[in-house]
């Protein structure tokens, strides 16, 4: 069984429609895929509708934006109740803050680039969780850069003058929020050092104390030494280990199924989650 537990559709910063992503997952030889768009469940229904035709089982999830101090933390939640009021309110607040922040970044960028908020909106359908990738796409569309990766390297980096932060809940609180909604919380790419500063083991221990279920260890942004350290930490804290692609369609080089998760881990996720896996 081939299981990929971290993907994005165009409901956030992926480029595929959810149904297309399901077809791509079938073509990539996957048996199970999790759709985990940033701060939203808006793609769940379309992806679930595609399960019978594609024969790929769907784990409904969300990648929740959080923080530890000034450091960004991404928390995957699997199989939570999409109508849980506390979680719904938090995701709404995060998406709102992302919109404001993206507009602030465009204001800064407009000093040096011919770029408007409408240009960025043109890169995303209404209701999409807006992120830097959409700003990158707008800069690419205007011919300033060749692709998203170049935009991130040269213009949109947190170290650069155009970067603005957005509001997100504390990572330990987010773990509680996910558990409260019947979700299974897994720390996404905890040692992805290229994205910015990463949290120390102390934060992961605290999150484990609050109910964290697993660590996404096998991920292309992790160096071999980081994988070894995370495996040891997961073992010590009694956390399970996942592997995933973090597929974003054409937006990133990540390919579906480039890392996968053990079926026994999926069984544990399904035991702990409130919602069922959608099976063909």
| Closest C-alpha to 108, from 167, 161, 153 | 161
- Tokens standing for 94? 């995060």
CB-nearer residue toward ligand AMP: 252 or 259: 252
- Is residue 16 near Zn ion by the rule CB under 5 A? no
The distance of closest approach from Cβ of residue 33 to Zn ion in the complex, given in angstroms and rounded to an integer, is 13
Q: Is 5 left (phi over 0), alpha (psi -120 to 50) or beta?
A: alpha
Residues 177-216 that bind ligand AMP (CB under 6 A): 195
Cα four-point dihedral sign 25, 46, 85, 89: positive
Stretch that binds Fe ion, among 6-14, 92-100, 118-126, 168-176 (CB under 5 A): 6-14
Instruction: Report d(CA 197, CA 191) in Å as an integer.
Output: 9
- Is residue 131 near ligand AMP by the rule CB under 6 A? yes
68: exposed, middle or buried (C-beta count within 10 Å: 0-12, 13-18, 19+)? Answer: buried
- Is residue 13 near Fe ion by the rule CB under 5 A? yes
Instruction: Report d(CA 273, CA 271) in Å as an integer.
Output: 6
Tokens 């769907």 sit at which residue? 58
| Closest C-alpha to 14, from 36, 44, 31, 34 | 36
- Is residue 149 near ligand AMP by the rule CB under 6 A? yes
Stretch that binds ligand AMP, among 17-25, 83-91, 106-114, 125-133 (CB under 6 A): 125-133
Stretch that binds ligand AMP, among 88-96, 148-156, 182-190, 236-244 (CB under 6 A): 148-156
Q: Are 256 and 25 contacting, i.e. CB atoms less than 8 angstroms apart?
A: yes
- Is residue 248 near ligand AMP by the rule CB under 6 A? yes
CB-nearer residue toward Zn ion: 39 or 246: 246
Bridge partners (DSSP) of residue 72 are 67
Binding-site size for Zn ion (CB under 5 A) equals 2
Stretch that binds ligand AMP, among 29-37, 84-92, 131-139, 208-216 (CB under 6 A): 131-139
Stretch that binds Zn ion, among 108-116, 206-214, 243-251, 270-278 (CB under 5 A): 243-251
CB-nearer residue toward Zn ion: 72 or 90: 72
Binding pattern for the stretch 170-189 against Zn ion, x by CB under 5 A and - elsewhere: --------------------
Binding-site size for ligand AMP (CB under 6 A) equals 11
- Is residue 152 near ligand AMP by the rule CB under 6 A? yes
Would you tell me which residues interact with Zn ion (CB under 5 A)? 63, 246
Would you tell me which residues interact with ligand AMP (CB under 6 A)? 13, 131-133, 148-149, 152, 195, 248, 251-252
């Amino acid at each position: 069984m081939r299981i990929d537990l971290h993907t994005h559709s165009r409901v956030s910063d992926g480029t595929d429609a959810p149904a297309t992503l399901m077809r791509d997952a079938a073509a990539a030889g996957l048996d199970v895929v999790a759709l985990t768009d940033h701060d939203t469940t808006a793609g769940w229904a379309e992806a679930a509708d595609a399960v019978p035709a594609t024969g790929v089982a769907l784990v409904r999830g969300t990648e929740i934006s959080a923080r530890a101090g000034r450091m960004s933390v991404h928390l995957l939640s699997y199989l939570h109740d999409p109508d849980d009021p506390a979680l719904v309110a938090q995701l709404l607040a995060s998406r709102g803050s992302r919109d404001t922040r993206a507009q602030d970044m465009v204001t800064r960028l407009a000093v040096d680039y011919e770029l408007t908020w409408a240009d960025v909106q043109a890169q995303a359908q209404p209701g999409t969780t807006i992120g830097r990738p959409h700003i990158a796409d707008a800069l690419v569309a205007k011919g300033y850069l060749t692709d998203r990766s170049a935009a991130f390297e040269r213009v949109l980096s947190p170290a650069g003058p155009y970067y603005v932060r957005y509001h997100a809940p504390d990572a330990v609180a987010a773990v509680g929020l996910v558990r409260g909604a019947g979700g299974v919380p897994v720390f996404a790419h905890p040692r992805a050092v290229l994205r910015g500063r990463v949290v120390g083991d102390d934060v992961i221990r605290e999150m484990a104390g609050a109910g964290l279920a697993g660590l996404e260890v096998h991920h292309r942004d992790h160096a071999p030494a980081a994988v070894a350290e995370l495996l040891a930490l997961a073992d010590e804290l009694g956390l399970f280990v996942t592997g995933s692609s973090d597929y974003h369609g054409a937006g990133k080089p990540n390919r579906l199924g480039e890392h996968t998760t053990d079926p026994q881990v999926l069984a544990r996720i399904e035991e702990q989650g409130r919602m069922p896996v959608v099976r063909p």
